[in-house]
Each structure stands twice: as structure tokens, then as C-alpha cells.
Structure 1
Amino acid sequence: MTAPVSHDAPLPDVIAPNLDVLFCGINPGLLSAVKGQHFARPGNRFWPALHLSGFTPRLLKPAEQAELLDYRLGITNLVARATAKADELSPEELRAGGARLIELAANYRPKVVAVVGITAYRTAFDRRKAKIGPQPERIADARLWVLPNPSGLNAHFQLADLAAVFGELRSEVAQTP
């Protein structure tokens, strides 16, 4: 179990070699940082979308994040610094996070890296016209996907929409040896 951390300490990655998918959030929210749990805010739809898309057989709670490794899934963040909102991050922080994500992918070799948040992805990797879904480039040897931000503040995607996009990613992963 991950120990709680202060909002100044980095949120530990949930990661192992050769995962099917390494999900990459933007940065921890304040509650996530305090609890030491990714996507910990009750209104965040990451965990429900993960379950409804078939990645997990049941709805996991943020406190059960270590169980993701049993399903060959992991979580990291582009930026370690916790904020109330992602728009508090600078472009420089996001670009540095993109470089770190490339290193993680090279070292841990997941099949897919899925960045959760289109605006952060566009800034971190200087891909201003990127769209949700699979991307033409790779990160290290991993295929690259961009998923919508599951924050409850993202009104553009309802839970069913999020689950559908997560499900497209799951289908691709299931078809890949």
C-alpha cells in the first residue's frame, strides 16, 4: 500500500516492466498528493472508465491502485507537482515531464503509453493538432494513445464517452501479442 505524502512530495508511480498500458496523468491533484493515490478525487472518472472499458473486472478504488499491476497496467504523471488545477502548470514543466515519460517508457517498456489529457499532451510533446486516440508517433518502443482527461471538470466527455475511448484502447491492446 502506498503511504500518504504531502502535496510537496512526488506521488509514487505504479509501474513495473513490460506492462500492457502505462497510463500517464497530467499531475496529481491536491487530494491525490495528500492521500498518495492517483485519481483520488471522488468526482474523477478514471477508475470507473477503467472498469467500464473492461480493463479491470471490478471498480477499483484509488486506495487499491497497486492492484493495477495484476492487470498489467500502471500509472505515472507528466508532472510530479500537485496543484488544484492542471492549468497551474507551466509549459516548461509539461515539456520536462514529456522527456521523463520517454525515459520511463524506454526503461520499463510498456506496450502502450496512454496520456490522459489532450491539452497537456499537446504542450508536453509540441503536438498542437493532436486528437484523442492513437497517435502516429511512438514513445520509445511503445505505441502512444491520448485519452480525454477524466476529471469531473472535463464536461466535454461524459463517463460513457470516456469508457468508450478507454475501450478502444483496450481492444487494441487485446489484439496485440
Structure 2
Amino acid sequence: MEVKRELTPEIGDGDGPKGNREGVPDSEFPSVRTTVKTEEDNTIASITSPAKKKRKPLGPGSVLSRSLQERGIRGPASHPSTIPTLPNTTTDTSPVPDHLAHHLRVLFIGFNPGVQSARRRCHYGNPGNHFWKCVVGSGLTGGVGVTCDDDKLCPRLYGLGFTNIISRSSPSVATLQKSEYSAGVPPIVAKLVTHRPRVVCFVGVKVFEAFWEGVQGACRETEADGSAINRRPLPASRKFQLGLQPKSIHYAPRRRPTPVDGPAERDTDSKDETTIKEEEETLLFVMPSTSGRVVHYTRADKLAFFVRLREVADRAVRAGGAA
């Protein structure tokens, strides 16, 4: 037995705005016809049943619409364009500004801003991201509650800075290209040379891998300008453990004029007695991404990395003097 269902064409389709059937009699609504064909006698029987009525939209001729018009109120069906469109003042590609300072306790380097971070113009702005909860829970802010809206205050109040290896926003890091990672390394190196943080924390393994691959070439370029990171090679193998890395960044000696009034520690090895030499280093710390999409590490696992990071930063500050 063969069963065939057919829907008769709608009457009134295209009449009025958006196919409004205002004024079409109920009998003209579409119906469903079921055709049954039997194999024994090859006869065909048709059963026609009315289709379920759809609720009619409010039209200019309805009782409610006429009542509204008598009271001077225009209904939405007769004036569909009366709702104003507000201008969009922000875009998903808006860059999130860096928040940096000299000798930060920790400089966090992330992938790139997510869509919500770009809209709010703050770092780690997605409510599902564990970053700020871990920052507070680890004691990096001394127990003071902070959110992404406070990121601009963190360099001055807590010695925490923020930047990204890629500046453009995207819904997911999966859309980022390898060329973008490579292009982001020299600007990161320049920021390190300028600000010389005690610790750099790479928030995401791939961020550190991109830095690892590109840093030696970037260092050669900046050293030609006279102020760059010393080429102390990183381990040849790309395999590494999360947490504090065995190699640190040692900067080329930076010379600055000796103050005219007041004592200064002079560089006795240099013939130029008007300069002093500063030797500094930056420790490297790697942790998994704090995104809520990263399920390989629980929030408690991520918090443990932040606690270790605080301990490393505290030791670095004590060893290098107050920031």
C-alpha cells in the first residue's frame, strides 16, 4: 500500500506585507490531502482534511487595529518601520588596549581578544572565562576583588599588565592564522625590552609556542638597533612543562645618564663614566588557557597555576628589588 500526502497551494501567499492573509475566508486556507493506493485492486481513495488554522497577524482592518486607530495609536502592522534603529557604536573588531608599566610583577600575554572582550574593551571579558576569578583567588591582588572592568588599574595597583600576541578579535582562537602569531612576536619583544617585567605569563600553550619559535629571529632584528634581548638560546626541543620555564630572558645592558645630583652606581668597566649599567631578566611562566571552553583543566587546576605564578612573582620582586 502506498501513501502519498499533498499540501494544496496557499491562497493569499504574497498578498499584503509578509504574506498577510487578512480578509481571506477560513474555507480558503490550505488543506492536506492523503492519497492511499492499494496493491490488490489498484484503486485510489482520497481523504481530505482541513489544515490547522494559523493565528492571523494583526492587520489594519482588524477590530483591535480599528480601536487603536480611533484612539490615535498606530498599530505595528500598519506601520512596521516605526521602531527606531540605534547606531552601533562598537564593533567586534575593536582592539583592546594594552595596560603596561615599567617593571610589572607579571605581564600576561594572551591569544587575542574574544568578541565580548572587544565589545567591552577589556581583557578576558567573557563571563565564562576563569581568568579574573583565578587572579583574585590566587592572591595576586591581595584578596581584593577585581573584574575585567578594573584591568586598566591593575598595573598601578597590583603590578599586573595585559597584552595579546594578536590584536584583532575573533569568536575563537581556531580562526587565527600561523602568520598572525609570527607577526605578533616582534611587537611582544619590543614591549618586553621597553617595560622589562619581572615575570611574563603566557596564558595558553600555543601563545608560548609561537613566542618560542619566533623570539630568536625577533631578537636578532632588535639587537641590530642596539637595545634588545640577549640571545640566550631556549631549549632546542619544543617539549616543555607548564609552569616556570628553565630559561629566562636576559636583556642587553641598558645605559642611562648618571644623575647630576645624587650618587649613582657607575659602570667601572665602561670608559664612559656618565652612564650606569642595568642588568635585568624576565622569568617565563606558561599556563593553560583560562577560557571556559578548555575542559582539560578544571577551574581548580587553573587556580593552582595562578597560585604558583604568584609565588614566582613574589620571589622575583624580592630578588630584583621593589617594582
> Would you say same fold, with TM above 0.5?
yes
Deviation at residue 160 of structure 1 after TM alignment: 1.2
Deviation at residue 154 of structure 1 after TM alignment: 0.4
3-state DSSP of counterpart to 1:136: coil
Q: Which residue of 2 aligns with 1:145?
A: 285
Q: Which residue of 2 aligns with 1:128?
A: 238
Alignment of 1:33-72 (within 5 A): 33-56=118-141, 57-69=143-155, 70-72=157-159
Deviation at residue 172 of structure 1 after TM alignment: 1.3
Contact 1:5–1:11 under 8 Å retained in 2: no
Contact 1:122–1:129 under 8 Å retained in 2: no
Inter-partner Cα distance in structure 2 for 1:143 and 1:78: 18
Deviation at residue 5 of structure 1 after TM alignment: 5.3
Identity of counterpart residues, as a percentage?
A: 33
3-state DSSP of counterpart to 2:285: strand
Contact 1:116–1:148 under 8 Å retained in 2: yes
Q: Which residue of 1 aligns with 2:304?
A: 164
3-state DSSP of counterpart to 1:99: helix
Deviation at residue 61 of structure 1 after TM alignment: 1.4
Inter-partner Cα distance in structure 2 for 1:59 and 1:6: 29
Amino acid at match of 2:121: G
Alignment of 1:4-153 (within 5 A): 6-56=91-141, 57-69=143-155, 70-126=157-213, 128-139=238-249, 140=251, 141-153=281-293
- Measured on the aligned residues, the alpha-carbon RMSD in Å equals 1.7
Matched residue count: 174
Contact 1:134–1:144 under 8 Å retained in 2: yes
Change (3 A) 1:147 1:5: farther
3-state DSSP of counterpart to 2:184: helix
Change (3 A) 1:171 1:116: same
Which of structures 1 and 2 has the larger relative contact order (alpha carbons within 8 angstroms, sep 6+)? 1
TM-score scaled to structure 2, two decimals? 0.51
Amino acid at match of 2:100: I
Inter-partner Cα distance in structure 1 for 2:296 and 2:179: 26
Q: Which runs of 5+ in 2 are unaligned?
A: 1-88, 214-236, 252-280, 319-323
Deviation at residue 123 of structure 1 after TM alignment: 3.1
Q: Which runs of 5+ in 1 are unaligned?
A: none
